[in-house]
Amino acid sequence: MASDRPLRGIFAPVTTPFRSEEIDLAAFSANLRHYASTALAGIVVLGSNGEAPLLDDDESDALIETARGVWPEGKWLIAGTGRESQRATIAATARAAARGVDAVMVRTPSFYKARVNAEAMTAFYAAVADASPVPVILYNVTMFTGVNMAPDTAARLSTHPNIVGIKDSGGDVTVISDLVAGCRPGFGVLAGSTSALYASLVVGATGATIGPADIAPDVCAALMTAVEAQRHDAARRLQLRLMPIAKSVGALYGIPGLKAAMDACGLTGGPPRPPLRAVSADAAALIREQVAALLQPA
């Protein structure tokens, strides 16, 4: 099982292709077969970039089953299973585990923001991790949830035997430092911000789960290798090379931008599900240029 290995490396938060608002499992499989040939350490199905909040439970199950059929056993297969209620999160986690995922990534509940304090988060994750048949990865993504998990809450949760890591998408390197320093040794700390990728790895992040890994997985992996080899000039150059696309698939155009970028590099991005809307033709043209620049031989 992949979960015996450390949570280390570059992970792609894969998207969900649609055709006329229906999931296109064939295109999904084709994308994953491509990713299997790259330097990725694993994939995350049903993350934020997978439009998980826009899918129903049957669709989610089908995506996991399909992924398991395609994705190699030797690399991490992670599924997002966070829901607003603890009960639904535990149920989704059980279904994902039954379908063979190596771990689940569970974002913080967030609707009742003021109530999701450190105490409630701790109780929630402990209950989910107690119930989960597979290891649990915390997921802190304030830009979408409006809720923040403080590093010391994560540090406390890192002592649970069935919680193996955290993805923090805030882009604040001080937070990454605090997580590395405060969590138990061996705990995975995955950066979720591309623009802070290099700096996050330098201060000790064990890897990253970032949109550009859906487009240029080997560029991301090369950056991590450079940091591990102390080739800081090379790492900095790769970081600069990632910046334009990072903005397009992040703050600027979000998931519709990421899907346009996948279309631009021969994978199937396709349209998002409403209320998300495809990017404009101008944005798509800009993104095509950025992808071409990113993927050309250095």
Least separation in angstroms between residue 182's CB and a copy of itself is 10
User: What is the token pair recorded at 66?
Assistant: 């399909």
Our CB check for a copy of itself shows the closer of 100 and 270 to be 270
Q: Which residue has the tokens 């080997």?
A: 218
Our CB check for a copy of itself shows the closer of 66 and 239 to be 239
Least separation in angstroms between residue 221's CB and a copy of itself is 20
Measured at the CA of 213, the angle between CA 227 and CA 152, to 5 degrees, comes to 65
Q: Do residues 268 and 17 lie in contact, with contact meaning Cβ atoms separated by under 8 Å?
A: yes
List of residues contacting a copy of itself (CB under 8 A): 21, 48, 53-56, 84-88, 109, 111-116, 119-121, 123-124, 127, 143-144, 146, 171-174, 177, 181, 193, 195-196, 198-199, 202-204, 230, 232, 236, 239-240, 243, 251, 254-256, 273-277
3-state class percentages of the chain: helix first, strand second, coil last, to nearest 5: 50, 15, 35
| Omega of the bond leading into 275 within 30 degrees of 0 (cis) | yes
Annotated catalytic residue within 113, 167, 247, 259: 167
Our CB check for a copy of itself shows the closer of 3 and 86 to be 86
Least separation in angstroms between residue 37's CB and a copy of itself is 30
Our CB check for a copy of itself shows the closer of 39 and 283 to be 283
Our CB check for a copy of itself shows the closer of 49 and 77 to be 49
Least separation in angstroms between residue 42's CB and a copy of itself is 24
Task: Pick the closest to residue 137 from 151, 125, 153, 121 (CA basis).
Answer: 125
**In the annotation, is 167 catalytic?**
yes
For the chain, how many helices (H) and strands (E)?
12, 10
Least separation in angstroms between residue 52's CB and a copy of itself is 9
Query: 86-98 and 118-131 helices cross at what angle (nearest 10)?
Result: 30
Beta strand segments in the chain, E: 9-13, 18-19, 22-23, 42-45, 76-80, 103-107, 136-140, 163-168, 188-191, 207-209
Name the residues annotated as catalytic: 167
